[in-house]
Amino acid sequence: MNVDKAKKRIEKLAKRGFKGYPLVSIEYFGVTADTATEVVMTFTLEEGAEPQSQKFLSKSDAREDETIQSVLVKTIERTDASTVAQIDGVSILSK
């Protein structure tokens, strides 16, 4: 899937707001706010359930990595997530 298409799809789903569970949350991390080298995707099946997380690493900006963005979209589709939450920007990794 094209990286721009994948990013737009995720943004569109995130803009819908909370629609119930299952919930998928996406957060980007990096050493600086300019480059996200890690992505953490968290899946919560229902309220009170233990969240499951998966981390993706990239040598370049993960937000522009076609493979990572495609996997995020496919995971959202496969889990039939009712809600997609995306944390804006890049969270700084502590050293």
Q: Kindly state whether residue 25 falls inside one of the protein's structural domains.
A: yes
pLDDT of amino acid 1:
81
The 10 Å Cβ neighbour count of residue 65 is 21
Q: Looking at the domain assignment, is residue 18 inside a domain?
A: yes
Report the alpha-carbon distance of residue 39 to residue 93 in Å, rounded: 11
- Chain segment 55-90, per-residue pLDDT in tens: 999 999 999 999 999 999 999 999 999 999 999 999
- Strands lying side by side in the sheet with 83-92: 52-57, 38-44, 23-30, 83-92
What CATH number did the domain enclosing 47 receive? 3.30.720
| Number of domains the chain is built from | 1
Statement: residue 26 has pLDDT above 80: yes
Compute the distance between CA of residue 93 and CA of residue 35 in angstroms, rounded to an integer.
Answer: 11
Domain contains 94: no
Q: CB of 45 within 8 A of CB of 70?
A: no
Please check whether residue 95 lies inside any domain of the structure.
no
Tell me, yes or no, whether 61 lies in a domain. Answer: yes
Residue 28 within a domain: yes
| 13: in domain | yes
